[in-house]
Amino acid sequence: MGRVTERRRILRIRDGVVGHRADTLVAEEPLEIRLNGRPLAITMRTPGDDFALATGFLVSEGVLAAADEVASVVYCAGATDEGVNTYNVVDVRLAPGVPVPDITLERNVYTTSSCGLCGKASLDAVRTATRLPITDHRSPALTPELLSSLPDRLRGAQAVFDRTGGLHAAALFDADGELLDAREDVGRHNAVDKLVGRALRDGRLPLAGNILMVSGRASFELAQKAVMAGIPVLAAVSAPSSLAVDLAVETGLTLVGFLRGNAMNVYAGEDRIALAARQAH
């Protein structure tokens, strides 16, 4: 297993003072995800929670929806020509009877925002593929005050960020704003997959009544992952993309962006927000 952080010698310049010192960096290594022994995807990630990352990815692909659909998750011992285990290749074996998707270069992938798919085709792909649809469009009822408290709670859970300043984070909260789980990674999508994979293992899918809080922007990819896990609310400290908003409207996801201090923008699903009577015009 690779380390989450690594040390490097750097030249540090501050206010004209120059000196060498050791600096802590977040580790980044490739992870190959295999399904029943066949290569499926490669992602750059921070080592750790690799089994959760792989299974969470398969939830977002519509392959998994319950813990008993997984027969095993293992590191591949013969990952190199010399048979050395690099701990950078994970193989997920499906339980008997679980359908295996067609794994080809032409398969209908929609999980990566840079893959070229866009517009209605992407929205239709998520809506038809999800096995854990968002069913209750009015629960939980969230106050703006509760939502405003989430960024600081997420920041408080970022232990590795405090040492490196180079990680994204994602966290799950319940409807009362209690922190359920938090994960960090160089990729915000990986952090979400780790959360979902751990929830799958614990038998907590779908994540109805939960709030997904992310440290950056709300891309189509993150909105898609929330929908595929049955999460009704996605909140982000930065902006959403237009396609993320379209997906939220299409699927009933509440999407909150620019969540900073006591300010926020609600782009979709405002029926879940408990508002006072006074509104600005």
In the 8-state DSSP scheme, what is residue 196? H
Helix H segments across 202-251? 220-228, 242-251
- Beta-sheet pairing, 29-35 with 17-26: unpaired
Contacts of 201 (CB under 8 A, 6+ apart): 51, 52, 55, 67
Catalytic residue among 74, 95, 100, 115: 115
CA-wise closest residue to 194 among 175, 212, 178, 216:
212
Phi then psi for residue 169, to 5 deg, are -140, 155
Query: Does the active-site annotation cover 115?
Result: yes
- Beta-sheet pairing, 89-94 with 168-173: unpaired
Phi then psi for residue 203, to 5 deg, are 70, 30
In the 8-state DSSP scheme, what is residue 138? T
CA-wise closest residue to 64 among 243, 249, 213, 198:
198
In the 8-state DSSP scheme, what is residue 164? H
Catalytically active residues are 115
